[in-house]
Amino acid sequence: MEFDRTIERPSTLSPRTQSEAPRRKEWIPKHPIAKLAMVWTIAQLLLVAIFEGIVISIHNTEIAQQQAVLLPTTAGSDADIVMRNSYAIRVYEALLIASQVFQLLLALDAVWHASFTQLASAAAFSFGTMGYSAIAYYQGATLTKQYDDITTLFANSGVALHQTHIWDIVVLVTFVLFCTGWVFICIKLYRVFGWSVFKQLGADIQVRERLKLYHVYMVLLKVDVFFFIGFSAQFIALVLSNTGNPMDSVIHGCVAFPLTIGLLLVAFYAVTLESFWLMMLTLLGLSGGIGYIVSKLYDAATNVEKYIGSRNSLIFFETITLLLCITTFVIAFLNYRNFGKGLKEQLRGRGQNGRAVEASYRMEDAHGRY
């Protein structure tokens, strides 16, 4: 047997190398579908980043052509509205690239920790970014739809509209293909990751339900980070930057970003330490965040002039952020109800997830269950 030969044959590796070898292996899963998931998310990042880079380059050229025709503009004029809408598209495209970096981290972490909840969240996130790319396409396609005089002016000046439409479609098709692949990967890894959790925690249904709530909570916190920061970045770049007072952007940036990261760190330690006071602070902070997002959502829906160029995107982000805040609040409270029931000790006693996952993968391979 291979196990017996390993015992009989002395290792030629140094003690340091022997201790590091298992940790190196943990970074690359044994199961072929898990490896496919890693390759899939890296390929998605690279292709979307390349295509979006091309879109940004072409759109920058288009902006320069539009500026040559329309500048200088008067605040609130048709030309000003068209240019602000055009500038906003560039921010949308940059956010799409940032979203792929976030999805890469989310998907890789899901594979390394054999978390199907997180893997499904990464797949859902991919569908969400596909919808966001559709918003960017729509804004580019309808840039001058309501301004016939601007359309005529561009036509007479030889400035083509929506010069990125071919590459925008390429991006959308790319998302469709990768989202389809994520559905396949999730279906295949559902059983594998479920078996891994079973091997680590056993058949206790209550323990597994508590672990599931814990994983959902952790995934929500990670997704909250992206949408909170994405909303704040757009609000600063597309709304506050046009108020004429640069201090508004500085103050919002210095307050919103630290508070967001701080609250999410408190929320993380509230559950991992099972701290009553940290959880109360988390629920209070989430309540404040829900109120803030509702006020901004109402402002964006009613104050059209203030949100020129950013209204569609901000409403999209604010709606998702609001839903995430409400969901995080509910799941945080459910996790609080599990305090003192042994999950903290069970999580500490699980050891390194990588070795347990690798054992599960080898067992899956041995039985051909993939």
pLDDT of residue 236: 80
Q: Are 191 and 62 in the same domain? A: yes
- The reply to whether 255 falls in a domain is yes
Closest by Cα among 132, 136, 133, 125 to 103: 125
- The reply to whether 364 falls in a domain is yes
Domain housing 299: 206-339
Closest by Cα among 126, 216, 133 to 177: 126
Q: Are 199 and 213 in the same domain? A: no
pTM, rounded to two decimals: 0.76
Radius of gyration, CA atoms only, the chain: 25
368, pLDDT greater than 90? no
HSE-CB at 329 with a 13 A cutoff on CA atoms is 15
The least confident of 105-109, 199-203, 292-296 is 199-203
Taking the C-alpha atoms of residue 262 and residue 259, their distance in angstroms, rounded to an integer, is: 5
- The reply to whether 12 falls in a domain is no
pLDDT of residue 361: 43
Q: Are 155 and 249 in the same domain? A: no
Query: Which sign, positive or negative, has the C-alpha torsion 233, 235, 241, 242?
Result: positive
- Angle between helix axes 78-112 and 116-141 (nearest 10 degrees) is 160
Q: Are 183 and 238 in the same domain? A: no
139 is written with which tokens? 């804004």
Q: Are 106 and 242 in the same domain? A: no
pLDDT of residue 99: 92
pLDDT in tens, 308-342: 777 877 888 889 889 999 999 999 999 998 888 77
- The reply to whether 262 falls in a domain is yes
Q: Are 266 and 185 in the same domain? A: no
HSE-CB at 261 with a 13 A cutoff on CA atoms is 6
Q: Are 35 and 131 in the same domain? A: yes
7, pLDDT greater than 50? no
- Tell me if 282 sits within 8 A of 328, measured CB to CB: no
Closest by Cα among 366, 367, 362 to 34: 362
19, pLDDT greater than 50? no
Taking the C-alpha atoms of residue 356 and residue 370, their distance in angstroms, rounded to an integer, is: 18
Higher per-residue confidence, 361 vs 196: 196
pLDDT in tens, 290-315: 998 898 888 888 887 777 777 877 88
Q: Are 150 and 49 in the same domain? A: yes
Q: Are 53 and 137 in the same domain? A: yes
Name the residue with tokens 């109360």: 280
The least confident of 28-37, 144-153, 236-245, 361-370 is 361-370
Higher per-residue confidence, 83 vs 58: 58
Taking the C-alpha atoms of residue 39 and residue 95, their distance in angstroms, rounded to an integer, is: 22
Q: Are 41 and 122 in the same domain? A: yes
Burial class (CB in 10 A: 0-12, 13-18, 19+), 299: middle
Query: Helical H runs in the chain?
Result: 2-8, 15-26, 32-70, 78-112, 116-141, 148-157, 165-201, 205-234, 246-272, 276-302, 311-337, 343-348, 353-367
- The reply to whether 168 falls in a domain is yes
Q: Are 221 and 153 in the same domain? A: no
pLDDT of residue 77: 80
Per-residue pLDDT band at 347 (split at 50, 70, 90): low
- Tell me if 220 sits within 8 A of 195, measured CB to CB: no
351, pLDDT greater than 60? no
Number of domains in the chain: 2
pLDDT in tens, 222-248: 888 888 888 888 888 777 766 655 666
pLDDT in tens, 159-200: 888 899 999 999 999 999 999 999 999 988 887 776 555 555
Taking the C-alpha atoms of residue 229 and residue 240, their distance in angstroms, rounded to an integer, is: 15
- The reply to whether 189 falls in a domain is yes
Q: Are 120 and 76 in the same domain? A: yes
